[in-house]
Amino acid sequence: MPPVARRDAASDPYAWLEQRDHPDVVAYLQAENEHTEAWLANHKDRREDLFNEIRGRIRETDLSLPSIWQGWLYYQRTEAGAEYPRYYRCRQSEPYSLEVDAASEMLLLDLNELAGEGFLQLGDFAISPDQRWLGYSLDRQGDEIYTLYLKELATGDILTLPLERADGSMTWANDSSTLFAVSMDEASRPSTLWRLSRSEAPQQVYHEADQRFLLHVYRSSSEEWLLAGSHSKNTSEIRLLAADQPTGEWRLISERKTGHEYHVDHGPDGLVIRSNDAGENFALYSADPLQPERAAWTLLRDVDPGRTLEDFSLQQKALVLHYRDQGLVLLEVQPCTGEAYPLRMPDAVYNLRVQGGEDYDSERLRIRYESLNRPAEIRALRLATGEQSVLKRTPVEGTFSADDYRVARHWATAPDGTRVPVSLVGRPEAFERPAPLYLYGYGSYGASMDPWFSHARLSLLDRGWIFAIAHIRGGADMGEAWYLAGKLEHKHNTFTDFIACAEELLDSKVTDRDRLVIAGGSAGGLLIGNVINQRPELFAAGVADVPFVDVWNTMNNPDLPLTIGEYEEWGDPNEPEVAERIKGYAPYEQVKSQAYPALFVTAGYHDMRVQYWEAAKWVAKLRYMKTDQNPLLLRTQMAAGHGGASGRYQAIRELAEEYSFVLAMIPGWTQPKS
């Protein structure tokens, strides 16, 4: 067993684990890793088998679907054995052709060569408008601090841009000489906008002083304007600059007003603005970019009380509206000429989004469609008619048919009477008796858990498992009101919704308490930590990846990255009522002397979003307080950040380790069903 943390502080006896790089802390984390390694080795260790299974379903040598931009095709190649993709381009032979021309192919970036044996994360990949320069950014540690580079494509010469603490984003002006980039403050908050060039020192353009706000910059769909947005969790402020006037003055569109969120893009008829100024479900407006102030906005689509306008996409030939209705995304296309029409999709539960890859003036748009049992398809949508054609299907190697898996939807009833959807997938026979079930949840920040396909998940499904997603409040799965009903003073709904989903699956005998595994990551790890404090008897095991479990101490430490900006999601702990509320649901604070389910917990040593010590302290306290003998494992990735390992094979190994744990804990078929 790893050492028990010494109880040397009355208020937080495990605070000593927050001493990053202290030899005792590093030794403790290494001891926990050794304990995890030893437990897995002694409990039907399936890691290598699972790794080979998952790897065997992935087409290791493949060509991505090329993106079209002004006569060029941009694409990636993956090769068997290579952790990272290589980025290429070639000339396009004719309009809409996606055939790669080997004669003109050029290697732009080889991440395998750049990574060596260490961590590597590509931030931005930005081609200049004249297509002579590549701007790219690299994080070599996992702390999300990037170094910016410029590569002259004709010569291969590389220049490092001198911007410290860059957040990785790079946005070109139309002169192909000027780049805009954002640097972070000491709290890792993107806060300062800079104008960069190849020959001059960075010039500061704008500083966002309010610590609740994050800054980002983007090009409009028309490529005529640049936009700089300051966004908190519930408020927006956006500035505008002509893309061909990079030294000009950024013009404010609408001054920030607490609670007013808006997003801006530019298309053939001017600015298009999605705003919640008239209602929480958002309306759509237009404006002249030369007169963008709020008073000059013209209403295009009023607030729909029955569904949320979640986003919109602009092409020269159409406006596409993204609605959220009853847990599903619905796309409505308004061509520049002709009647608007909705897109009809074949499955009852699915994931649908607009995907880039076509020129702005193209007659078609790409959409990405997938379901729990159906790998992603990229489809070309002909904007004028609604006709769809499949451009690329994500392959699944080996024997696979989507029809071999059943997709279902259940509805749980929360304590306040709200009906909460649960999406499920498994082999048909798994639904005939209580089956091992992996229930996933998140429920924060308005993030929607739309159903997605997973090559790795098949290793569970083919062993008789069911995978389920609880679409709980705090996410926006059912619209904006769903998000608002699971944050701040309503945060308890997130947890009671998840418990209600678990109880529905138990009551309907889809699974039983000896076979129910729950999982979540980051804020979803907070969810897991809370519900096992409340109802540990419901669950056989849990997985908490980089869990935000020390929420009380983190929210009381404004020096930590991003803490102050989180007040609008969780509340300001300096207010007595908020302090009592947060302390009441904080997993670390509420650990009790009781029996807990088996737990597999992960952390990233360089994680700047959820510090490694949140998981380490939580595990230490659980180990001291719990009254059971169930396994409690902590795996800290010492060379990774919030997203885990950076290489694709490394990521598969992490999943194989997690699955090896749950398969050791839960009875089921020992061999995958073929």
User: Domain map of the chain by residue range?
Assistant: 16-55+399-665
The pLDDT of residue 672: 62
**Residue 9 reports pLDDT greater than 50:** no
State yes or no: pLDDT of 6 exceeds 50.
no
Asked if residues 453 and 467 have their Cβ atoms less than 8 Å apart, the reply is no
Q: Give the pLDDT band of residue 11 (cuts 50, 70, 90).
A: confident
Query: So what's the pLDDT on residue 671?
Result: 59
pLDDT surpasses 50 at 648: yes
Q: Say whether 232 is catalytic.
A: no
| Segment 267-284 mean pLDDT | 97
Whether 137 is catalytic is: no
Query: Which residue, 351, 484, 500, is CA-closest to 420?
Result: 500
Q: Specify the pLDDT at position 347.
A: 81
- What is the tens place of the pLDDT at every residue in 419-473? 999 999 999 999 999 999 999 999 999 999 999 999 999 999 999 999 999 999 9
The alpha carbon dihedral of 19, 23, 27, 33 has a sign of: positive
How many whole angstroms separate alpha carbon 573 and alpha carbon 627? 31
Residue 68's alpha-carbon distances to 65, 98, 463, 567, in angstroms, are: 10, 8, 41, 41
Q: Give per-residue pLDDT as tens, 511-554.
A: 999 999 999 999 999 999 999 999 999 999 999 999 999 999 99
Q: Which of 522, 545, 606, 646 is the catalytic position? A: 522
CA distance 94 to 180: 33
169: annotated active-site residue: no
What is the percent of the chain with per-residue pLDDT over 90, rounded to a whole number?
Answer: 90
b/e sequence 431-451, b meaning 16+ C-beta within 10 Å: beebbbbbbbbbbbbbbbbbb
Q: Which of 12, 459, 642, 660 is catalytic?
A: 642
Span 26-37, pLDDT tens digits: 999 999 999 999
Mean pLDDT across 80-108? 94
Sheet of 236-242: strand order equals 214-219, 225-231, 236-242, 251-252
497 three-state secondary structure: helix
Q: Cα(108)–Cα(122) distance, rounded to whole angstroms? A: 13
Phi, psi of 660 (to 5 degrees): -60, -40
pLDDT digit string, tens, across residues 196-217:
998 889 999 999 999 999 999 9
Average pLDDT over residues 478-486: 95
Average pLDDT for 384-410: 95
Cβ–Cβ contacts within 10 Å for residue 264, how many? 24
Phi/psi zone of residue 245: left (φ > 0), alpha (ψ -120 to 50 degrees), beta? Answer: beta
| Average pLDDT rounded to a whole number, residues 275-298 | 96
CATH topology of domain 16-55+399-665: Rossmann fold (3.40.50)
Other CB atoms within 10 A of residue 117 CB: 8
97/433 Cα distance (integer angstroms): 50
The candidate with the shortest Cα–Cα distance to 601, out of 614, 589, 590, 591, is 614
Tell me what pLDDT residue 668 has. 62
Measured CA distances, 541 to 3, 51, 601, 656 (Å): 23, 21, 11, 16
Q: Which of 313, 606, 607, 660 is catalytic?
A: 607
